[in-house]
Structure 1
Amino acid sequence: MRPDLVAVPIGAALTLAGSAVYAVRALRGAVSPDPLTWLFWTIAPGVAFAAELSHGVGMGSLTTLAVGLGPLLVCVCALTGGAFRWAPTRYEWACGAFALLALLGWWNTANPDVAILLSILADGLAAVPTLLKAHRRPDTEDPWVYVLMAVSAALTLCTTPTFTFAATAFPAYLLVLCGTTLFLLRRPRTGLGGISSGTRHASSTTRTAESGGGPRASPPNPQRGDRS
């Protein structure tokens, strides 16, 4: 039996499981998914999936399908639970506009490879707000969904029977995206001078403890007639 017939469905199931956990947490308000990112993460993989099918990719396209169905579940739960609280910046609007242009470009092309490339471009542009949020507010994200998607992409790449652009482009992109997101979620937050906020807080606490928790008393001034 070919390895991809076993590994790819397992990877797809892991992706859906990770998305389901994320969706439940969004429903409970424990995470705050970015609407722009998760909406395009539903649409762009659908475009890539259709292009992969037309190119005869086969079992490997199941990973791309799962990557699109998972965000759809997250969007439904986030809308139901009111987790989508969005005040879009001009930068986010720009990312969304370019992602939409990429999808419109796919609509006008008959080349499956170009369609996959444009869907990756749209997906990546839509991911920018979430990558920024992962860096600035890691507490609003759940790393496990990205871990499981990365595992799914790696299984697809390792077991694909044909290393063509259509078969490997989207899983490779997905692996890079998830790795980048996890790096941003796990890296220590740093402030001015490269000192982490935790270290700065600890140093401040130590200084306060050493000073006795308050300001030091001023020494006697003989010129004012102070007595010891």
Structure 2
Amino acid sequence: MSILDIIGIASGLLAFSSYFFYIPAILQGRTRPNRASWWIWGGIGALIVASYYASGARGTIWVPLSEAIGPAIIALLSIKYGEGGWTRLDKWCLFGASIGTFLWWFTDSAVVGLVAYLLTDLMAVVPTLRKSLHRPEHEDRNAWGLTFGGQVLNFFALETFSFSLALYPVYMIITNGIIFALQFKKRGAKAFSSIDIVSQCLSDIPRTSAFQQAIQESVKPGDTVLECGVGSGILTLFAAKAGARKVVAVEYDPFVAEAAKRVIAVNNQHTVDMRIGDGRSYEFEPGLKFDAVIIEMLTTGMIEEYQVGVINNLHRQGVVKDSTVFIPSHQDTFATLGNFDFTCYGCTVPFIRHTWKFYDAPMKDFKPFTDQALLHSVDFSRAIAEKFEGTIDFVANKSGVINSVRLSSVCHPTRNSSLSDTHSLNGPVVIPMEEKQVEAGEKIHLSVSYVFGGGYEGFHASI
């Protein structure tokens, strides 16, 4: 056995071992395979096995059969655990793969057959490549690393180099390498849930009553309604009782979803379709359109919660219309520069501080040095840039030291209503900054940048 034979065997074993990472990751909910990709890859494997069988090469069918088993298993698992398969891109890729498969199967030319095969495979790569670009947290880095490593070894197992021989391994190195590299892209924060937060929202009368009124005004009998981030289920109940024909309720946390299902059952609301999933990536069935969308996944400035990511997913999939009513409709965020007393318990603690209205006065001692100014207004009826970058020009109204910026938000349940901070919604946040001495009348330039839903880790503010 030559060294090239050993390298070739090692490349196959390395690539095949990737399935021992990928399949468990699917079953554990850490990976969500794209259906279009894996249906195509599963189909390719089946065709290769069929061609071996039809040609009579049944004694050597076991190698291609072993290579087809992994994609076939993942294709089947994707039906329940995967995502995609119905978007416009997925459909075009499935169509392109059908053309490539036809050419590959019926051509007598080896070169045309190879190009047709690569076209078919490329149609499988594109949906997973797009998913890895936008949501790398839904792929398995270990599995793609092993696949990429196997393809690199496969290239070095070539006995002779020619265009036709090198085209396939080079193509595989490039495509698998790109997907693997995207796994190192900063991953979106995992969705979180807390019964404590859910209970606080439910018990917050001003907040919940404002949303109840907005839903009663906006949801019409016969509407199809979506709520993402169901929590206790109270807003879903409001929509059902308003006469909605169907309410699709999506909750990330399985335990919270089960609790909400019990709440809905006790209230005899049979039009609610409870589902478990992450609203930022949940794939809805073809043809579904919502008349009203309820998403209260808000924090001050939407720095920590995932409202924007969920909204963009709905627009991306086309499940909302120009006439769809969003509850809330929009949110405004304001900034104020000032001086915050960071001393507490005998220590100086320059830490990000939420200043809820029910906190004791010493824990929210912020002295403004400027007027409040609008930082941004986010309209949920359209897709939103997920990274915000903005500036504000202030004029100091007193002399002293500025050491922080205070953010506050006003939520608008409808176009004609507003809701400032309550006991569970949009508590003002004071963020420490480098100290700056200013004089009354001095112009101050504030720059702010962050990713909506990315947390304070990526928040930057400077003057």
Confirm or deny a common fold (TM above 0.5): yes
> Cα–Cα, structure 1 residues 153 and 136, in superposed 2: closer, same or farther, change >3 Å?
same
Q: Which deviates further from its counterpart, 178-187 or 82-91?
A: 82-91
Name stretches of at least 5 consecutive residues in structure 1 with no aligned partner: 52-61, 208-228
CA contact (8 A) 1:27 1:78 kept: no
User: Does the Cα contact within 8 Å between 1:63 and 1:153 map onto a contact in 2?
Assistant: no
1:110-159 per-position Cα deviation (integer Å, ceiling 9, x unaligned): 11221121111111112111111111111110012211111111111112
What percentage of aligned pairs have identical amino acids? 22
Match of 1:19 in 2: 19
Per the alignment, do residues 104 and 203 of structure 1 end up closer, same or farther by CA in structure 2, a change over 3 Å counting? closer
TM-score, with structure 2 as normaliser: 0.37
Question: In structure 2, do the counterparts of structure 1 residues 8 and 110 end up closer, same or farther at CA, with 3 Å as the change threshold?
Answer: same
CA contact (8 A) 1:15 1:66 kept: no
Aligned residues: 195
CA separation in 1, counterparts of 2:50 and 2:142?
A: 27
Q: Which amino acid aligns with 2:129?
A: L
* C-alpha displacement of 1:30: 2.2
Contact 1:48 1:170 in 2 (8 A): no
Contact preservation (8 Å) 2:450, 2:459: no
Provide the C-alpha distance between the structure 2 equivalents of 1:118 and 1:9, rounded to a whole number of angstroms: 26
Deviations 1:174-224 (A, max 9, x none): 11011111222212378245x6639973378787xxxxxxxxxxxxxxxxx
Q: 1:169 aligns with which of 167, 182, 195?
A: 167
Aligned equivalent of 1:114 = 112
Give 3-state SS (helix, strand or coil) of 2:161's partner. coil
Report the equivalent of 1:201. Answer: 455
Structure 1 residue 187 and structure 2 residue 383: aligned?
A: no
Instruction: Give how far 1:46 is off.
Output: 6.2
Corresponding residue SS for 1:12? helix
Among 149, 155, 166, the alignment partner of 1:151 is 149
Cα RMSD (Å) of the superposition?
Answer: 3.3
* 1:11 partner letter: S
Letter in 2 for 1:153: Q
- 1:165 Cα offset (Å): 3.8
- Contact 1:15–1:148 (Cα < 8 Å) also in 2: yes
What does residue 28 of structure 1 align with? 28
Alpha carbons of structure 1 residues 203 and 116: separation in structure 2 relative to 1, 3 Å: closer
The amino acid of 1:132's aligned partner reads R
Which one has more relative contact order, counting CA pairs under 8 Å at least 6 apart? 1
Q: Which moved more, 1:195-204 or 1:23-32?
A: 195-204
Higher strand share: 2
Would the aligned equivalents of 1:67 and 1:149 in 2 still touch at CA under 8 Å?
Answer: no
Of Structure 1 and Structure 2, the greater helix share is in 1
Give yes or no for contact 1:16–1:69 (8 Å, CA) kept in 2: no
Could you tell me whether the CA contact under 8 Å between 1:20 and 1:74 is conserved in 2?
no
| Partner Cα separation in structure 1 for residue 163 and residue 387 of structure 2 | 41
Equivalent residue number for residue 140 of structure 1: 138
- Measure the CA separation in 1 of the matches of 2:458 and 2:33: 34
